[in-house]
Amino acid sequence: MNEAPDAAFVRSGGLAHRSHAHASRVLTAQACEFVGELERRFRSRRSDLLAARRERQVRLDAGELPRFLAETEAVREGEWRVPAAPAALTDRRVEITGPTDRKMMINALNSGAKVFMADLEDANSPSWDNVIEGQVNLQDAVRGEIELVTPERTYRLAAETATLVVRPRGWHLVERHVEVDGEPMSASLFDAGLYLFHNARASLEAGQGPFLYLPKLEGHLEARLWNDVLSHVEDVLGLARGTIRVTVLIETILAAFEMDEILHELREHICGLNAGRWDYIFSVIKKLGRHRRFVLPDRSAVTMTVPFMRAYTELLVKTCHRRGAHAVGGMAAFIPNRRKPEVTARALEQVAADKRREAGDGFDGTWVAHPDLVPVAAAELDAVLGERPNQLERQRVDVHTSESDLLGVECSPGAVTLEGLQRNASVALRYLAAWLGGSGAVAIDDLMEDAATAEICRSQIWQWVHHGVVLDTSTAVTRELASELIAESLRSASLDPQWQGSRLEEARGLLVRVALEDELVSFLTIPAYDLLE
């Protein structure tokens, strides 16, 4: 959006933003000046890092493979540790995630989880209303004032609530409703900047602190940029160095080779790493998927126990604990369904087994997507931790992860099936229709789907078409077959009352674009954003 702002834009604090009913609370002149200055200070560095991503992708497509960096060997071999976590993040055995929808936030904060990750990224469809109202809800939550009155009931915070951690959008995204010097500003700086400006001191006064989850990093230089942003924010807001504490999601195959370096770059601010399993799988396909050896089987077959995923998670625990940082495990996306008791019982057994494995591997905490899963996950972590807040003392010296271990995708058991292809088309289509309608966390077939799981679905379709993978039916995956299945998914969803009236036809066109074009679009949310209200 390089043209002059239209009449719906207003100027405030040196930037231009689209008008909104809650602008007086969120987009004050002081807040606009603050985030505008962030954008001007760090814009060129962000742009350079995104250009470096594109250049590296060209090299990966040509056959280069990720590696442990020779130039940072001294960091990996050095003896250093990150600062201890603040009291509010010492015990994070169960973390619940969700969007910044008011009702969902209250339920998540009251869920009994130790941490609530309020998501402005993958679980959020970034319509202007969602972005601004999310910031309002965060302000109210930090101050203990968030409530919702409906005809059916009133939602209020309990006496004891989860610790709030906020996930801004990734470096690759812009906020097109805000312009600085005629250019849309970084969504990362907008989300984090507004949250910290309005809430850093209030969160400290509440006995917690300004805590962030940082997404989608592809290497330590991107972590360095975040560290410089956080240090600058602390200086401007008059906060002591290290007041803002962060956890980084290791959700790209490239970041897995730089975990020590990421911790080191953020060592004034970081307190943990998280195994972002769904984006990690998507990243393997996106970064390496042009090469046949990295073809993955059905999404359901790529569990946390397949060799390359296990190598990544064990290295994460070892790296974190060596440096005094917490290791937080992956997402349990199942949604209990009281109308399907047998399905729910089997799924809860699988969730419990997944969390039991994570606790046994040394993780200090884990993620769930639904309040009913909090006690299931807590029971497995409690069985290992007991009264201890974490298990940082488990150093995992038995783990020796090589580059080939992290890249051992071809060792993954499982097949590419017609059912898996159909499911990918169906889930991606319905998710995109919901996303275009303003919902970023969507219940589909008893799973909580978000942008990361939709990314797996559409990138697997692309990968299987690109390589002409042969299905279990002895049929090769072609663009024509995938198009036919997407059309079938559209017809089926159109007959379902849940999806009638949604933006299915637009979702179909978008899915064809992000799954069937020759070039794999880096993130489906980039072209999808252009269609968002």
- Domain of residue 457: give its range: 416-529
**Active site (annotated) includes residue 140:** no
Tell whether 441 and 401 lie within a shared domain. Answer: no
Tell whether 327 and 476 lie within a shared domain. Answer: no
**pLDDT by 10s per residue, the chain, length 533:** 333 345 578 998 789 999 999 999 999 999 999 999 999 999 999 999 999 999 999 999 999 999 999 999 999 999 999 999 999 999 999 999 999 999 999 999 999 999 999 999 999 999 999 999 999 999 999 999 999 999 999 999 999 999 999 999 999 999 999 999 999 999 999 999 999 999 999 999 999 999 999 999 999 999 999 999 999 999 999 999 999 999 999 999 999 999 999 999 999 999 999 999 999 999 999 999 999 999 999 999 999 999 999 999 999 999 999 999 999 999 998 999 888 899 899 899 999 999 999 999 999 999 999 999 999 999 999 999 999 999 999 999 999 999 999 999 999 999 999 999 999 999 999 999 999 999 999 999 999 999 999 999 999 999 999 999 999 999 999 999 999 999 999 999 999 999 999 999 999 999 999 999 999 999 999 999 999 97
Helix H, strand E, coil C: the string for 131-188 is: HHHHHHHHHHHHCCCCEEECCCCEEECCCCCCEEEEECCCCCCEEEEEEECCEEEEHH
Tell whether 138 and 223 lie within a shared domain. Answer: yes
Tell whether 385 and 434 lie within a shared domain. Answer: no
Tell whether 353 and 421 lie within a shared domain. Answer: no
Within a domain: 501: yes
Tell whether 451 and 363 lie within a shared domain. Answer: no
Tell whether 159 and 276 lie within a shared domain. Answer: yes
Backbone phi, then psi, for 48, in 5-degree steps?
A: -65, -40
- The CATH number for 445's domain is 1.20.1220.12
Structure tokens at 193: 């900047």
Tell whether 482 and 351 lie within a shared domain. Answer: no
Model pLDDT, residue 338: 83
Total domain count for the chain?
A: 2
Within a domain: 6: no
Residue 459 in contact with residue 466, Cβ under 8 Å? no
Give the Cα separation of 198 and 208 in Å (integer).
15
Give the Cα separation of 206 and 192 in Å (integer).
19
Within a domain: 8: no
pLDDT digits (tens, 9 = 90+) for 484-499: 999 999 999 999 999 9
Q: Spot the catalytic one: 101, 260, 298, 450.
A: 450
Pairing of β 9-12 and β 15-18: antiparallel
- The CATH number for 107's domain is 3.20.20.360
Tell whether 430 and 312 lie within a shared domain. Answer: no
Within a domain: 280: yes
Domain end: 337, 372, 405, which one? 405
Within a domain: 490: yes
Domain end: 384, 405, 426, which one? 405
**Active site (annotated) includes residue 450:** yes
Tell whether 184 and 232 lie within a shared domain. Answer: yes
| Amino acid type, 154 | T
Within a domain: 114: yes
Kindly give, in sequence order, each residue whose CB lies less than 8 Å from that of residue 485, ignoring residues fewer than 6 positions away.
421, 422, 425
Residue 336 in contact with residue 347, Cβ under 8 Å? yes
Domain end: 405, 424, 448, which one? 405
Tell whether 56 and 161 lie within a shared domain. Answer: yes
Q: Spot the catalytic one: 93, 167, 245, 357.
A: 167
Residue 145 in contact with residue 156, Cβ under 8 Å? no
Tell whether 384 and 426 lie within a shared domain. Answer: no
Model pLDDT, residue 14: 80
